[in-house]
Amino acid sequence: MENLDKVLKSHKLSHEDYAHILEILGREPNLVEIGIFSAMWSEHCSYKSSKKYLNGFPTTAPWVIQGPGENAGVIDIGGGMAAVFKMESHNHPSFIEPFQGAATGVGGILRDIFTMGARPVANLNALRFGDVYGNETINRYQRHLVRGVVDGIGSYGNCMGVPTIGGEISFDSSYNGNILVNAFSLGICKSDEIFLGVAKGIGNPVIYVGSKTGRDGLGGAVMSSDSFTQESKSLRPTVQVGDPFTEKLLLEACLELFQTDHVVGIQDMGAAGLTSSSFEMAGKTGAGLKMDLDKVPAREEGMTPYEFMLSESQERMLICAKIGSEDAVIAIFQKWGLDAAVIGEVTDTGRMELYWHGQKCADMPIAPVSEEAPILDRPTAKPAYIDQIKDKTIDSYDTIDNQEAFEKMVSSLEVVDKSWVYQQYDSMVQTNTIKAPGSLDASVIRIKENGKALAMSSDCNPRYCYIDPHKGAALAVMESGRNVAMSGARPLAITDCLNFGNPQNPEVMWQFAHSCEGIKEACTKLNTPVVSGNVSLYNETDGTSVYPTPAIVMVGLNDSQESVLQSQLTQEGNELLLVGATKGEFGGSLYIKANFGETAGAIGAIDYDAELALWEFVIQANQKALLECAKDVSMGGIAIALAKLCATSNKGVDAQIELSERRYIFDESQSRAIVEVTSQNKEAVIAMAKALGLEIVTLGTIGGDRLKLNDIEMPLTQLQAIYFDTFAQMIEQDL
């Protein structure tokens, strides 16, 4: 090949890779084949840096129907129904073009769900931005990104008619050059009607459906497998453009198709488009495929085989149908006004044979391309910073009044209400939303088909993950499970979205390796397997990597949609109890961050038994109708948990608690919750907690026009003004 060095460089392939390609093909590749190898062996598609650590995740339990490896994970939710869910990142595109990047992130995850035969019924998102405070260019740009990403997510999800029922959003300067946009979707289907991404049965047709193929998103998978520099804005053409209307038609057409008996397998065309979908479908069965690329519906003239194989045009699916059903399949898509074309067939060669107007333009063995991607064992090294910050405690900083600290913390963007965000998302379409965004802790929908309710919560505290990647990742699993349990649901399984920096940096690889260990440990101990997930590396700009950010979404089941526990205070005069031990944990705390601007300290020992006991306590007490509300205690400690309860419930609280140190009202010890009880139920609740080995004390009483807790106090009107107005004022200040 001419200009081999240049061609390899532009495809991010090494000379070692090239030697491997020569060996696989037994000849020199052409450009189409180089493009295919490049996409299939990109970090994005091959998980080459991460695979080593992902092996060994716990993935099985009696309720797991489908673990990792398909488009999404599936769990049994009773009554013959299943929940299909996954989370994915769209970080790089969203930084370059926030509206379209975020919108197509939502579009991509929705396709992963309905490809499996499930109607998407709930979306969440986890967003990380940089410094939005201040008036420097970077601050204004970050605020622009917040506005664009939220608009993009809303426009896609709303048009699709899928409610966005919750999520999380946080801010740290480590995301200044790389924001994180993680989108989660969950769908419902009958547990015996799940569709997989497979191609098999010699002679069966391969049918292309959905939008026409254009030149957008060319090389997107390869783009997102690299770190950013100042020149990255020139990558804007690699960002796809979303068309939620077409995707809505594609959703309905696919669900109509699934009611027939025509489908063998179906796969969405996401990253690396037609290349990854066709290789994955055939790779899973060992079949071969023969495809005529000139038959692919094209948006513009003059496109080449190379472009057809690597375009990341959105809203497309590849179907392997039963022979003879071609006309019936095409008729369904035509009813919905979508393109559909038979572009190939299944063969027994085990090879991918591509034709262009009758001439063969690529011929490659499928298994080695999809399975022999280089698996790397990248060097790891413990980050130097950890030893510099691990010995810091609250005593390393100036002494300040609790009242002063509280006022700073309660107005932090991480604490205040995000209605500016979630009111742009339709959260109630499909008429299932029981616990909506803004109601604290998990989001909950009811399942019309079986009378049950599903709770879900997205969590990750990147400060914990920065100071201790292993424990931080474990705590993300714990917190997401705790939030789910607070609604009375039993946590069942997680999906994860692992966002890290540049894997070529040994310190980043160390963070990644340790985070994976933390997830493995927590999911094993808590019996909540990983059923799907996604890895996003190279979240680095000009040498600065993001904080390790393994976002976790836990999904749990409540057997009765009538007994979902809320996280709002219900009645003046009722008492609040604090469950769990307060141990003086301030590593990575909001207290240190908001008051002293640092992320420092260490994380204490994790007690999984205490966590499980807390879940069991809330679930059982709720089943016996002994609780009026429950809220976990996490970032900002007891003080911030009470502030959120007061603000969202429009009720005051008078609380007093004996602690060994006055600042412990802000302590972030894990495995704690605040529950509301009536005086009649109080003794029974206390007895139940003690029987489970949990510490439980009376915290205070609901009532009055202010929040009072030990030496801090704030009138409800002031608290609500801060809680409900701060976010919009900050984000809209440039408009």
Partner 1 sequence: MRVAVLRFPGTNCELDTHHAFTQLGADVEIVWHNEQKLPEAIDLVVLAGGFSYGDYLRSGAIARFSPIMKAVVEYANEGNCVLGICNGFQILTEIGLLPGALKRNNNLHFISKFQTIKVIHNDNKFLSQCSTQEILNVPIAHADGNYYINPEQLDEIESNGQVLLRYCDSDGEPLAINGSLNAIAGVCNKNKNVFGLMPHPERAMEAILGSMDGKKMLEGFMN
x/- string (CB under 8 A) for partner 1, residues 170-199?
------------------------------
Would you count residue 443 as binding partner 1 (CB under 8 A)? no
Q: Which candidate, 497, 368, 505, 544, places its Cα nearest to that of 49?
A: 505
Report d(CA 225, CA 42) in Å as an integer: 6
Interface pick for partner 1 out of 149, 416, 434, 675 (rule CB under 8 A)? 434
Helices (H) and strands (E) in the chain, counts: 25, 28
Q: Smallest distance from the beta carbon of 159 to partner 1, in angstroms?
A: 4
Minimum Å distance from CB 157 to partner 1?
Answer: 10
| Active-site position among 11, 20, 44, 92 | 44
79 binds partner 1 (CB under 8 A): no
Contact status, residue 449 vs residue 461, Cβ threshold 8 Å: no
Kindly state whether residue 161 participates in binding partner 1, applying the rule CB under 8 A.
yes
Which one of 214-222, 370-378, 428-436, 670-678 is the stretch in contact with partner 1 (CB under 8 A)?
A: 428-436
Q: CB nearer to partner 1: give 336 or 615.
A: 336
- Under DSSP, the state recorded for 546 is P
Q: Determine which residue in the list 41, 336, 466, 500 makes contact with partner 1, applying CB under 8 A.
A: 336
Q: Decide: is 133 part of the binding site for partner 1 (CB under 8 A).
A: no
* Token pair listed for 478: 């714990």
For the CA atoms of 163, 169, 175, 181, what is the dihedral angle to 10 degrees? -10
Torsion angles phi and psi, residue 59, rounded to 5: -130, 5
| Residue 620 sits in the site that holds partner 1 (CB under 8 A) | no
**Which of 134, 324, 337, 693 lies at the binding interface for partner 1 (CB under 8 A)?**
337
* Amino acid of residue 555: V
Query: With binding defined as CB under 8 A, does residue 52 bind partner 1?
Result: no
Q: Is 423 in the site for partner 1 (CB under 8 A)?
A: yes
> Is 262 an annotated catalytic residue?
no
Give residue for tokens 């424990």.
471
Note whether 272 and 310 are within 8 A (CB): yes
Q: Which is nearer to partner 1, 426 or 611 (CB)?
A: 426
Q: Which listed residue (11, 90, 262, 514) is catalytic?
A: 90
**Closest Cα partner for 333 from 345, 341, 323?**
341
Exactly one of 12, 299, 448, 490 binds partner 1 (CB under 8 A); that residue is 448
For the four alpha carbons of 184, 607, 594 and 711, in that order, the dihedral sign comes to: positive
- Provide the pairing of β-strand 490-499 with 530-536: parallel
Among 7, 328, 375, 436, which residue sits at the site for partner 1 (rule: CB under 8 A)?
A: 436
Under the binding rule (CB under 8 A), the answer on residue 154 touching partner 1 is yes
| 160 near partner 1, judged by CB under 8 A | yes
Distance CA 544, CA 564 (A): 43
Quote the least distance from Cβ 343 to partner 1, whole Å: 24
Strand ordering across the sheet containing 453-459: 433-435, 443-446, 453-459, 549-558, 490-499, 530-536
Is-catalytic flag, 44?
yes
By CB under 8 A, is residue 429 in contact with partner 1?
A: yes
Considering the rule CB under 8 A, would residue 42 count as an interface residue with partner 1? no
Choices 23-31, 418-426, 454-462, 600-608 (CB under 8 A): range interacting with partner 1: 418-426
The answer to whether residue 427 forms part of the interface with partner 1 (CB under 8 A) is: yes
Concatenated DSSP letters for 389-453? HTT--GGGS----HHHHHHHHHTSTTTS--HHHHTTS--STTS-EEE-TTSSS-EEEE-TTTS-E
Which one of residues 23, 562, 609, 711 is an interface residue with partner 1 (CB under 8 A)? 562
Q: How far apart are CA 236 and CA 80, in angstroms?
A: 45
What does the alpha-carbon distance between residue 97 and residue 202 come to, in Å, rounded to a whole number? 43
Q: What is the rounded distance in angstroms from the CA atom of residue 589 to the CA atom of residue 386?
A: 15
* Number of residues lying near partner 1 (CB under 8 A): 35
Q: Which residues bind partner 1 (CB under 8 A)?
A: 151, 154-155, 158-161, 243-246, 248-249, 336-337, 419, 422-434, 436, 446, 448, 561-562, 564
Which residues carry out catalysis? 44, 90
